[in-house]
Structure formats: C-alpha cells, structure tokens
C-alpha cells in the first residue's frame, strides 16, 4: 500500500479536500426571535462564531441583528415579511425605500447574500398574487443600487405546494399554482440566476404516518432504504426523498437548471402527547445526522452532483410562539446559549468527532445508487459498494485505506484468489468497502470513504465471489 496515498486519504477524511471544497454542502441556521428571553444580538453572533456557523437566516431585517453581524464573516439571508408583499408588488418605490432603510446602511460590512421575499406565501391564497411582482420589484431596486449581482432574491416554499411527493419521481406542484405563480416565479429565478428556497420537515410526515414511515428512515439512521418503483432509486432518508420530490416537480416543468436551498428543516426536542417522535434524542439524531450528511458531500439520487445547502430550524427555543408544544422547541440552543443537545455544526467540529472513532455517530448517510451486477434481493440486509461516479483516483485512495488502516479483509481480491475477477478497480473497491462496512456492524458512516462508496439493498454479485454480510454479531457469506 502506498504510504503517501494513505496519508493523503487520511488528511481528506480529517480536514476535507480543499481543492474540491465545492463538493461539500453548507449548514446555516434560522435565527428566529419570537421570544422574550433571548440574548442580545452581539452575544448571538459570538455564539454563531464559536460554533463555526457561517450562514444565518432571519425572518425580517432587524437593524440590531444586521449591525451585530457586521464584519463577522457570517452571511445572512434577510426576509421581507408577508404583510409587505402587496405594497412591494404595487409600487417599485416601496422596494427602493425598503432597501434604503434595511439593506443599504449595513451592506457590505454585513454580508447579506439573499433576500427572501415573503415566507411560505403559497399557504395564503390572498398573498400569492403579490409574490412574483414583489420579487421583480425587489430585484429591479437591487439593480439600481448595483447590488443585484451579489444579493439573490428568492422566496421559501413549503412542501404543501406539492401536489404529489411520493414516490419522489412523481413530485409535482399543485396544478392551481403552476400557471399563476409557480412558473412565473421559476422563470424569474432562472433569469436572475437565483435559487429556489424550500422548507422541508420530515418530522411532520413521520408524525402523521408513524404506521408507514420508519423512524430510522426519518432520522437519517441506518435503515433498509425505500425504493422508488418508477426509477429504482433507493432512498436512505426521508429528507432526500422530500428534496427529490421538489427536484422532480422542477423537472416536470422544465426548470431542471434551478438549484434548491433548503431554507428550513429541523426536528423538535419536545412536543405534546400526540406529537409522536418529538424528543431530545430524536432531534439530536435528525439534526446531527443531517449535518454530517450535508458536510460530507454529495447530492440526492436525482441530482447526485448538486451539493446540499441547508438552514436548520432553529437557533433558539422560542417561548412566545403559538401552536403546539413542538413549535417552541426546535432550538439547537436554550436562551441562555447552552446547547439543547450536542451535535457538530461545522466541518471543523465534524472532523473533530470523526478523528476519534469512539465519538463517531452512526450518522453519515451515503449517496444511494444501485451497484453493477445486482444479485437477488436479500431482505433486511445492506451492503457497501463503490460509487463509480467518484472517479478512479478517489476510488483508489479509498481502496488503499480500506485494505490498509481500515483493516478490511482484502485477501480474496488478491491475484489468484476467488474475488480477483473481475479485475477492475470498481469490483475490488466494492469488495473491500463492504468488508470494512460489515466488520463495523454496518454503521452507515463506515460506508462513505469521502464519497467513494454507497449503501445498497441488493446483494452484489461478481461471478463466484461471496460478499460478506452481518446479522447480529455473526458474519455470514451469501452467494
């Protein structure tokens, strides 16, 4: 084994590969303030910086928050509230004035990256007609200030705007929204080089369907996966399935080039008696596993090459929010800035936990895709195989690691042994990756290798080569 390759691969695992940083997604946090006990914005900025959070989204354009964020190297998305949409739509002088009051005094010292015009506007039929005209006026006002190249204009859309979301490949927008609102909005985003903001909450889907949705699947924990019968894609998390439903809806309208940012997602740490699934352990699992999934790179089955950019909801528990108990318990932090639960929120923090195997969580969910030469289905089992899209160099480095420091049993793929044929890098890497994965009791983070591997639910078959699997504590071999 090449010591240089092993060294470089370990550096990749621990620090990330700087030359391919664009492959990694980003984690931001929604900073809501519907509470009477939150710390001052200056203290909040220190909290964000101490946790490595470099992107934040607020639900207004509060001057004290924007002032505190100045020169912090934290990017911020601001919001024009729904109540202002009609004024913004009817008169561009209104958006001129709004920008002069809320953006100009702070930019560029405060790194304002986007303006969300409204929030989940399609939920309110009365506000829907104002959305696109307001977005267009906002963009025109940004152009006047020469800000439009750097500050994007978008609007968060709730998944309730979808007519169909399962299976993911059938995703489509509600027919009554398409012509009057969805198409004009997507055309605007396309023309201005912006992106769609989507709010995704697997918690709501799980809470309403506990009889049919696996909790492990909802929390991005190791599970058998769910297969889309239309295209064969295997989903290892409800989050990815929901996101692909949005992508499918975009594809159906011929807007496949529009990127998507997940502007809200989260899991409550407490809930009422009928809010099934709410709780600290589940919130820690969902948010922690999602952070690991986003920061270790890769996209979804429908868009495997698109990085994931996600804003968690929310920074704090907010004691003045109405609705069910869960609404007041989405925070990562209590108002006194203590963590509700301990999860990594940045790549540095994630690398800190990954560098010590005893601190690793069963959380890293890979990019699912079917392997070459699938054998018959073996219910309840999973295997780890090479991701051929990763490229030869990454596969070779990962193979060297698995057979070296990883301790995989690579004897069967040596020349003359039973699994040497087919003599291809992909076949050898698949065997080595799976050996390591089964040895580590199929913890999903052990089938990643920097994006070089995938979990699959079909038994790989390479001639007379047997792929090991794990049941309980006993290692088995299946033909």
Task: Kindly provide the b/e burial profile for residues 72-108, where b requires at least 16 CB atoms within 10 angstroms of the residue's own CB.
Answer: bebbbbbbbebebbbbbbeebebbbebbeebbeebbe
Strand 234-235 relative to strand 226-227, pairing: antiparallel
All residues at 6 or more sequence positions from 215 whose CB lies less than 8 Å from its CB, including other chains: 206, 221, 277, 282
Catalytic residue among 207, 240, 264, 318: 264
Tell me how far apart the alpha carbons of residues 399 and 397 are, in angstroms, rounded to a whole number. 5
Tell me how far apart the alpha carbons of residues 85 and 413 are, in angstroms, rounded to a whole number. 64
Q: Which two tokens stand for residue 399?
A: 């193979």
Residue 11 CA from chain centroid, whole number: 24
Catalytic (active site) residue 264: yes
Q: Are 33 and 318 in contact (CB under 8 A)?
A: yes
Q: Are 468 and 477 in contact (CB under 8 A)?
A: yes
Catalytic residue among 120, 207, 240, 318: 120
Residue showing tokens 């009051």: 101
Q: Are 453 and 366 in contact (CB under 8 A)?
A: yes
Task: Kindly provide the b/e burial profile for residues 288-320, where b requires at least 16 CB atoms within 10 angstroms of the residue's own CB.
Answer: bbbbbbbbbbbbbbbbbeebbbbbbbbbbbbee
- Residue 172: how many CA atoms within 13 Å on its side-chain side? 8
Is the preceding peptide bond at 473 cis, omega within 30 degrees of 0?
no
Catalytic (active site) residue 224: no
* Partners of residue 226 on adjacent β-strands: 235
Mind telling me the catalytic residues? Answer: 120, 264
């Amino acid at each position: 084994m090449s010591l240089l390759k092993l060294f470089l691969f370990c550096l990749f695992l621990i620090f990330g590969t700087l030359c391919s940083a664009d492959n990694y997604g980003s984690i931001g946090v929604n900073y809501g303030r519907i509470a009477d006990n939150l710390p001052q914005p200056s203290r909040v900025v220190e909290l964000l910086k101490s946790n490595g959070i470099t992107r934040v989204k607020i639900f207004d354009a509060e001057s004290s928050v924007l002032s505190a964020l100045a020169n912090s190297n934290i990017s911020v998305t601001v919001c024009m509230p729904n109540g202002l949409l009609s004024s913004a739509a009817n008169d561009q002088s209104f958006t001129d004035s709004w920008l002069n009051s809320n953006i100009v005094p702070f930019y560029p010292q405060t790194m304002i990256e986007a303006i969300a015009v409204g929030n989940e506007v399609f939920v309110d039929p009365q506000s829907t007609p104002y959305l696109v005209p307001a977005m267009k006026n906002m963009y025109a006002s940004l152009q006047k200030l020469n800000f439009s190249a750097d500050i994007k204009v978008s609007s968060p859309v709730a998944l309730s705007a979808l007519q169909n979301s399962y299976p993911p490949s059938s995703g489509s927008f509600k027919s009554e929204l398409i012509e009057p609102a969805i198409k004009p909005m997507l055309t605007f985003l396309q023309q201005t080089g912006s992106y769609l903001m989507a709010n995704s909450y697997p918690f709501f889907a799980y809470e309403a369907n506990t009889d049919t949705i696996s909790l492990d699947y909802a929390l991005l924990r190791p599970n058998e996966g769910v297969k889309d019968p239309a295209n064969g894609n295997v989903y290892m998390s409800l989050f990815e399935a929901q996101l692909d439903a949005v992508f499918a809806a975009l594809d159906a309208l011929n807007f496949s080039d529009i990127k998507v940012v997940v502007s809200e997602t989260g899991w409550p740490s407490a809930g009422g008696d009928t809010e099934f699934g709410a709780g600290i352990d589940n919130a820690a699992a969902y948010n922690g596993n999602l952070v690991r999934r986003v920061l270790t790179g890769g996209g979804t089955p429908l868009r495997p090459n698109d990085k994931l950019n996600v804003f968690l909801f929310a920074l704090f528990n907010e004691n003045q929010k109405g609705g069910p108990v869960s609404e007041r318990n989405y925070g990562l932090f209590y108002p006194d800035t203590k963590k509700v639960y301990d999860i990594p929120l940045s790549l540095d923090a994630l690398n800190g936990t990954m560098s010590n195997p005893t601190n690793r969580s069963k959380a890293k969910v890979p990019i699912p895709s079917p392997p070459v030469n699938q054998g018959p289905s073996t219910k309840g089992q999973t295997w780890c195989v090479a991701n051929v899209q990763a490229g030869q160099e990454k596969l070779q480095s990962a193979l060297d690691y698995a057979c070296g420091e990883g301790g995989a049993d690579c004897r069967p793929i040596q020349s003359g042994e039973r699994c040497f044929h087919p003599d291809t890098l992909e076949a050898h890497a698949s065997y080595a990756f799976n050996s390591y994965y089964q040895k580590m009791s199929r913890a999903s983070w052990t089938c990643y290798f920097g994006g070089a591997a995938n979990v699959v639910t079909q038994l790989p078959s390479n001639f007379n080569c047997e792929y090991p699997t794990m049941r309980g504590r006993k290692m088995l071999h299946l033909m």
